[in-house]
Amino acid sequence: MGTYQRINPLVQEGIASKKAYLVGGGIASLSAAAFLIRDGHMPGKNIHILEQSAIYGGSMDGAGNAKDGYSARGGREIEEHFECFMELYGFIPSLTNPDRTVLDEFRELNLAEPIESHCRLVENEGQKADFSSLGLSTAHALQLGKLTLATEEKLGAVTIEQFFDPTFLETNFWYFWRSMFAFENWHSVVEVKRYMERFMHLISGMNQLKGILHTEYNQYDSLILPLLKWLEAQGVNFDKGHQVVDLDYDFANGETTVTGIQLLVNGSPKTISTTRNDLVMVTNGSMTENSTRGDMDHPAILNRSLTERGCWSLWEKLAAKSPDFGHPEVFCGDIDKTKWLSFTMTFTDDEIVFPYLLELTGDLPGMGGVVTIKDSNWMMSWTAPKQPHFINQPENVKVLWAYGLFPDTEGNFIKKKMADCTGSELLQELCYHIGLKDRIPEILEHTTNVIPCMMPYITSQFMPRVLGDRPEVVPQGSTNFAFLGQFAEVADDCVFTVEYSVRSAMMASYQLLNLEKEVIPVHPSKYDIRVLLTALRTCMGNKTLPLDKTLGQLLSGTVIAKLLL
């Protein structure tokens, strides 16, 4: 979408009487509310965000204090071409300066403190591993090429381990890839294809995380909080304690219209009647539903409930009403393939861990990104975020975050399954791997808390699927209804990103209001010959690309030769 398309849509007749009910309080609903107000000119007081819990922000969370310790389940990686995300935060005011936007300050931070990792892999108890290249052979590069050329329809529900040669899964490329995006070998190869094409422009810097952006604080404080403040100022209704349990539909004449919202308000049943003049948007499915936390002395106990699982239960009810509403069981039907564990460490007066990590990696907190432990049985990675990581965090307190992809395996140092470990044991395993085994007692003396978090559905969006398993954002025939978030179908974009949720919100808002404004297209990296050739050269180990003699002579002295050689 060029500048010509960045218009201010006309105010629609009747918009002042139209109401919107957004089910779920995550970034998708918050973004939808913002687009309805700015582009749809809907009064904020007409918008209701229905959320079961008392906290908004969904998976983009972060909370705690210096006394009890801080916790964040995780953070989504961001890059420059998250076009819908940047559009959103280009009109949300900064919390500290109303004359600046969140995007203004976000860009300034990343220009001043760009991520450029000098240590992406470690092994052998704190020894740097070679991360200078992607470690791909010509055969591996050809497999990646074959993947980008294949259609999603042809690939179907093929998994990563079914598509790639086993040796591919031992390359640096795969260590980088899975630690950045949290892919398991049994996940969908279609999602790998989407990531390849969507982020083709980042492949040349993947071994140093060049192009990845970070926020000043955790993503709740930096992104959710200013968005909430702006929406509150617009008069949006934040209906806490509102658990939506079902929707009523009229399917007459080939159309789909929501006629009622069934919910529990602080446990008491209630019905909200709706008409085709109203809007209803539902976040179906959640990566962090049924998350559980532990502490220094207790593990996070896995919640395996099949009956009480919030938006998953709602989606199952909706899917039973129409084949156009997707197949939730594809994503939430096997917890042991979608779970993993993260843990947040809080240190007070630390003079060991952070100075040591700076010496080991050469990266200041916030400027190094994820580091993966190659020989960890848990496939553990850690990141040292910019400090302070929380707005209320004192200067003498530091926060570190880590996660493991294999929670059911025994540790190398702590001889227990990761899932069964207390916060203290998780920290000890990390200390062993980074080379601080002998200083564990001292480190524990300065550890305020380690909060493990078990997430049953954290990688559910990567499960093998085919067209139709995720419903369209606006299902065919819908007059007033849309799906939002990671489990709605957004062509060409990548799940497990903030951009995907924000894009779904823009799509739903513009389509249901029939606005003349276009949704910003996905950045077309895969169509840029310069990007393609740079990615190809990187995958080939930065060797000169092979050309036959005749073609080489023909291109000699041309612009194309500069790109190729």
> Structure tokens of 553?
């002579």
Is the domain of 345 the same as that of 448? yes
Phi, psi of 370 (to 5 degrees): -75, 135
304 domain residue, yes or no: no
Residue finishing a domain among 194, 211, 228:
211
Start-to-end Cα distance in the chain:
32
Which ranges of 345-479 does DSSP label H, i.e. alpha helix?
353-361, 423-434, 440-445
Is the domain of 538 the same as that of 440? no
Is the domain of 349 the same as that of 451? yes
Is the domain of 178 the same as that of 134? yes
> Structure tokens of 219?
């993503």
- Contact predicate 179/171, CB 8 Å: no
272 domain residue, yes or no: no
Q: How many domains does the chain have?
A: 3
184 domain residue, yes or no: yes
Is the domain of 154 the same as that of 118? no
233 domain residue, yes or no: no
Is the domain of 346 the same as that of 370? yes
Is the domain of 119 the same as that of 202? no
Is the domain of 347 the same as that of 403? yes
Which ranges of 113-214 does DSSP label H, i.e. alpha helix?
138-149, 152-155, 160-163, 172-181, 189-198
The secondary element (H helix, E strand) that includes residue 452 is strand 447-455
Residue finishing a domain among 211, 241, 261:
211
| Alpha-carbon gap, residue 121 to 338, rounded angstroms | 24
203 domain residue, yes or no: yes
376 domain residue, yes or no: yes
Is the domain of 119 the same as that of 183? no
Residue finishing a domain among 179, 211, 243:
211
pLDDT tens readout for residues 478-523 = 999 999 999 999 999 999 999 999 999 999 999 999 999 999 999 9
| Alpha-carbon gap, residue 280 to 532, rounded angstroms | 41
Is the domain of 119 the same as that of 197? no
20 domain residue, yes or no: no
Instruction: Tell me which residues are annotated as active site.
Output: 77, 195
pLDDT tens readout for residues 123-178 = 999 999 999 999 999 999 999 999 999 999 999 999 999 999 999 999 999 999 99
311 domain residue, yes or no: no
pLDDT tens readout for residues 39-90 = 999 999 999 999 999 999 999 999 999 999 999 998 889 999 999 999 999 9
Is the domain of 148 the same as that of 118? no
Quote the pTM value.
0.95
Asked if residue 550 has pLDDT above 50, the reply is yes
| Alpha-carbon gap, residue 337 to 491, rounded angstroms | 24
> Kindly report the CA angle at 286 between 282 and 292, in degrees rounded to 5?
140
Is the domain of 118 the same as that of 184? no
What single string gives the DSSP state of each residue in 16-74? GG--EEEES-BHHHHHHHHHHHHTT---GGGEEEEESSS--BTTS--EEETTTEEE---
Q: Which domain holds residue 536?
A: 529-564
CATH at 435: 3.30.9.80
